[in-house]
């Protein structure tokens, strides 16, 4: 093994592939994003791919079979892109199992506590060990022990003063030590911050390559000075080689050619999974479903984002989908000609004005320096701005991204075009300037741009010149010297239109009004947290819903976001669905639920509060700057999500964790709890479909101490099961949970503890709707950090270590349902 040591930092990554070492017989492999679709190598104009529902949508299905099926489909997509390592998921054991069942590596990310985007590269998070163990590490622990992902990606942030990529406690003590995990740890892009700590504590590969922090000279110097041990390097190299062996990379060349394969079975899976993740939150008077027979001869107004296919979020979640189906088109197909559909835009959705496109004649024409359509792009040396080093013509837009190219490194850029507007006035935004708190986020349009207005003369030609600043160190080594820029543009005649008035008139003239609200990839994206708990833009969506509801009593809201949002209009509307980001079939999935082709069966995987002020992290997020560095204290501890709202009056919530309605009705009951082994309880219960339609619901089982303590949550979800039944059908469900699931982490003892006493096991339809409870008595149990069981009798504190436990239990983290993140702008928001 020692003869490979000097190659540790030579096994570098370009943006997606490892570098082969032919003289040592080490092949390269290709990685690819991402969580809800396999994008391929290019950020701009990447190979088309299937776009699957986002993690929040899959979580809302509470269906482990769907999660596994999506994982298998993602593995198939990875193969079609020539990749053998998928940079996903952001949790979920079942999805990992699905991916790796086809021999593709799953990379669970981001380890750990990557819960906010504000200063995500450098923010220092102060988190108690108890909160880490019970909330932020727990989903990773479950996924690693149940599904054994072949790779883990470290997070950008610091935890308690140490960067995650070199964190001894997280990587060496917990992940590799207590959990006994032997896989590959890779950094997030540009997320390697040390030579010594990262190698000694467990980070195999710096991403992307070539190495900028762990250069060969830096590693050799660290070895000579005794800061890095040869044993640590041997272990890092061994894990890399084992990883390549798992991928069968030594068996021959793996094709890396990217293919766009639009599989019919993927289309079907995406449509079904997207529909089953939709949560029916409100349905007064059974206004839904709008079946074709029910609405025949009626007029339905589709307002807002009806013609927008909100399939995914921004940043790493972006996918160049094979196609995207908008709700307007899907409903027209589903309802046919017997229903009249009208449309009104209602509000402007853009956070950033769109770049000028050479192909958009509605905003004007653009001619480059060569006299042809498009912009000209020139590159200058910073020392000489008089003569360009090179010039390209035919640039599509008034924007340039430096990702994936070498031509812009340490150059000053200039975009030039002769612009002729068709109208006399326009509004625009200046080229992006300066703020590099998250330079990677800038590349995903995650910066704020000021707008200004300029009066043009119609038909007159204006020369537009956009020039970048001289390149500099932007705070992220992989982007050093890279330069990009953009300028947005929009016609004032468009942005000054009375969209709200038009929508109100259309709604007033309809039998039903469906308002489509939500976030597009600009508003919910990597690199920035939510600007507000309210829907964008500047209150326009909230105003639209209230205005429409004021003139049409049959107002239905379809909200597409990955997070909870404020709903000040909730009492004014008749029905509400939360659709998340359902993937490329988003319109069809939504139409299936609205028309009743699919009975909604989703349940909320997060709590939806009424006010941001009642969120658990309010006042803590995003932290305070100390000596120029952001520090955030997780002062809420373990009281996040329903654990927090269980201690507040119910009126603080719009909707509780686990809430979800159906077009049919269900009865849950006959709960029994029995001890089936030393550490496992078996729960049985009955579920009956008491309505007239086939449908699905989620049986939720919670556990908590009868005698409440101020420092412990009232209850925690310990098991769940999705159940689908025909009308009148009844079934018995059997679930299991571990005794440890009733416990807590004792920091002083360094152990998991289940106190002796009486516990309530509750059967519920949501965290706020318990339908039956059973009490059980427990002796005190302690668990060592490595999860061996220590039995402690109340009268005898002598201990005996038992064997590692392996029980079949449907953990909530299997579907990323920890409810750590009830809202997007004021709690710690995970990347999606």
Element (H, E) at 684: strand 680-689
CA distance 7 to 25: 12
CA distance 299 to 339: 6
Element (H, E) at 133: none
CA distance 204 to 184: 6
Among 119, 124, 165, 188, the active-site one is: 188
Q: Of 751, 737, 625, 613, whose CA–CA distance to 684 is shortest?
A: 737
Q: How does DSSP classify residue 352?
A: S
Q: Dihedral of CA 202/13/40/155: which sign?
A: positive
CA distance 82 to 41: 10
Query: Before 208, cis peptide (omega within 30)?
Result: yes
| Contact (CB, 8 A) for 320 and 48 | yes
What letters, b where the CB count within 10 A reaches 16 and e where it falls short, cover 238-255? ebbbebbebbebeeeebe
Q: Concatenate the DSSP letters of all residues of 165-214 into one string.
A: GG-IIIIIIIIIIIS---SEEEPPTT----SHHHHHHT--B-SSSS-SSS
Secondary structure class of 513 (helix, strand, coil): strand
The bridge status of strand 151-154 relative to strand 184-186 is parallel
Confirm whether 542 is a catalytic residue. Answer: no
The bridge status of strand 781-783 relative to strand 769-778 is unpaired
Q: Concatenate the DSSP letters of all residues of 245-314 into one string.
A: HHTTGGGSPPP--------HHHHHHHHHHHHHT-EEEEEGGG-----TTTTTT-EEEEEEGGG------S
Taking phi first (over 0 means left), then psi (-120 to 50 degrees means alpha), and beta for anything else, what does residue 517 get? beta
Angle subtended by helix axes 93-100 and 138-147, to nearest 10: 30
How far is Cα of residue 373 from the mean position of the Cα atoms in its chain?
38
For the chain, report the end-to-end CA distance as a whole number of angstroms: 38
Q: Concatenate the DSSP letters of all residues of 432-481 into one string.
A: P-S--SSHHHHTTT-S----EEEEPPTT--EEEEEEPPPP---S-GGGTT
The bridge status of strand 680-689 relative to strand 666-675 is antiparallel
Write a three-state SS string for 596-611. Answer: CCCCCCCCCCCCEECC
Tokens of 29: 């492999």
CA distance 199 to 218: 12
Tokens of 7: 């190659």
Residues with active-site annotation: 188
């Amino acid at each position: 093994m020692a003869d490979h040591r000097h190659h540790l930092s030579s096994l570098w990554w370009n943006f997606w592939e490892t570098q082969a070492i032919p003289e040592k017989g080490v092949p390269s492999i290709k990685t690819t994003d991402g969580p809800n679709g396999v994008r391929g190598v290019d950020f701009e104009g990447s190979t088309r791919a299937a776009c699957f529902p986002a993690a929040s949508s899959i979580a809302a299905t509470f269906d482990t079979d769907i999660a596994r099926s999506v994982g298998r489909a993602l593995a198939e997509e990875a193969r079609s892109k020539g990749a053998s390592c998928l940079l996903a998921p952001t949790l979920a054991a079942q999805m990992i199992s699905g991916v790796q069942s086809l021999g593709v590596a799953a990379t669970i990310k981001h380890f750990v506590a990557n819960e906010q985007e504000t200063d995500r590269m450098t923010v220092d998070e102060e988190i108690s060990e108890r909160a880490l163990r019970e909330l932020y590490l727990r989903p990773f622990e479950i996924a690693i022990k149940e599904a054994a992902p072949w790779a883990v990606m470290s997070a950008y942030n610091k935890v308690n003063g140490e960067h995650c990529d070199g964190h001894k406690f997280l990587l060496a003590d917990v992940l590799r030590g207590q959990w006994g995990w032997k896989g590959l740890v890779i950094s997030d892009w540009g997320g390697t911050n040390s030579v010594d700590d990262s190698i000694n504590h467990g980070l195999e590969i710096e991403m992307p390559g070539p190495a900028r922090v762990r250069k060969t000279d830096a590693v050799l110097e660290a070895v000579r000075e005794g800061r890095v041990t040869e044993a640590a390097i041997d272990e890092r190299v061994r894990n890399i080689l084992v990883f390549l062996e798992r991928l069968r990379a030594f068996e021959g060349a793996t094709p890396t050619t990217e293919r766009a394969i639009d599989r019919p079975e993927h289309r079907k899976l995406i449509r079904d999974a997207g529909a089953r993740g939709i949560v029916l939150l409100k349905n007064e008077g059974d206004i839904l479903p709008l079946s074709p027979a029910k609405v025949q001869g009626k007029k339905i107004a589709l307002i807002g984002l009806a013609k927008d296919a909100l399939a995914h979020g921004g940043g790493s979640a972006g996918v160049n989908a094979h196609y995207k189906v908008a709700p307007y088109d899907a409903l027209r197909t589903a309802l046919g000609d017997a229903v009249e559909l009208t449309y009104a835009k209602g509000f402007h959705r853009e956070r950033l004005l769109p770049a000028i496109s050479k192909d958009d004649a509605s905003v004007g024409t653009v001619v480059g320096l060569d006299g042809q359509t498009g912009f000209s792009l020139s590159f200058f040396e910073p020392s000489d701005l008089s003569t360009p080093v090179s010039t390209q013509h035919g640039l599509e837009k008034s924007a340039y991204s430096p990702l994936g190219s070498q031509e812009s490194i340490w150059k000053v850029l200039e975009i030039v075009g002769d612009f002729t507007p068709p109208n006399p006035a326009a509004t625009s935004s200046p080229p992006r300037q300066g703020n590099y708190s998250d330079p990677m986020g800038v590349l995903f349009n995650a910066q704020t741009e000021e707008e200004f207005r300029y009066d043009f003369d119609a038909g007159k030609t204006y020369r537009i010149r956009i020039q970048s600043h001289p390149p500099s160190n932007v705070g992220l080594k992989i982007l050093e010297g890279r330069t990009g820029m953009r300028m947005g543009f929009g016609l004032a005649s468009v942005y000054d239109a009375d969209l709200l008035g038009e929508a109100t008139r259309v709604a007033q003239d309809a039998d039903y009004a469906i308002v489509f609200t939500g976030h597009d990839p600009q508003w919910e994206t990597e690199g920035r947290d939510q600007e507000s708990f309210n829907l964008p833009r500047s209150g326009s969506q909230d105003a639209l819903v209230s205005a429409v509801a004021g003139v049409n009593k049959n107002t239905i809201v379809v909200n597409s976001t990955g997070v909870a949002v404020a709903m000040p209009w909730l009492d004014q509307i008749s029905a509400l669905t939360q659709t998340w980001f359902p993937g490329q079939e988003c319109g069809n999935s939504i139409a299936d639920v609205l028309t009743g082709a699919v009975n909604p069966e989703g349940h909320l995987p997060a709590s939806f509060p009424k006010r941001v002020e009642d969120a658990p992290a309010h006042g803590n997020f995003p932290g305070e700057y100390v000596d120029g560095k952001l520090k955030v204290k997780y002062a809420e501890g373990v009281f996040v999500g329903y654990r927090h709202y269980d201690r507040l009056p119910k009126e603080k919530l719009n909707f509780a964790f686990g809430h979800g309605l159906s077009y049919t009705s269900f009865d849950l009951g006959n709960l029994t709890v029995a001890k089936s082994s030393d550490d496992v309880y078996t729960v049985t219960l009955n579920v009956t479909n008491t309505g007239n339609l086939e449908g699905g619901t989620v049986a939720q089982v919670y556990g908590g101490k009868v005698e409440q303590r101020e420092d412990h949550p009232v209850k925690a979800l310990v098991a769940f099961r999705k159940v689908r039944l025909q009308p009148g059908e009844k079934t018995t469900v059997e679930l299991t949970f571990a005794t440890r699931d009733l416990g807590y982490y004792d920091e002083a003892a360094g152990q998991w503890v289940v106190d002796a006493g009486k516990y309530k096991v509750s059967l519920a339809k949501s965290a706020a709707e318990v339908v039956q409870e059973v009490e059980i008595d427990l002796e005190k149990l302690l668990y060592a950090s490595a999860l061996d069981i220590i039995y402690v009798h109340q009268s005898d504190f002598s201990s005996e270590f038992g064997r590692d436990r392996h029980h079949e239990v449907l953990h909530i983290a299997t579907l990323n349902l920890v409810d750590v993140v009830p809202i997007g702008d004021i709690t710690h928001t995970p990347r999606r």
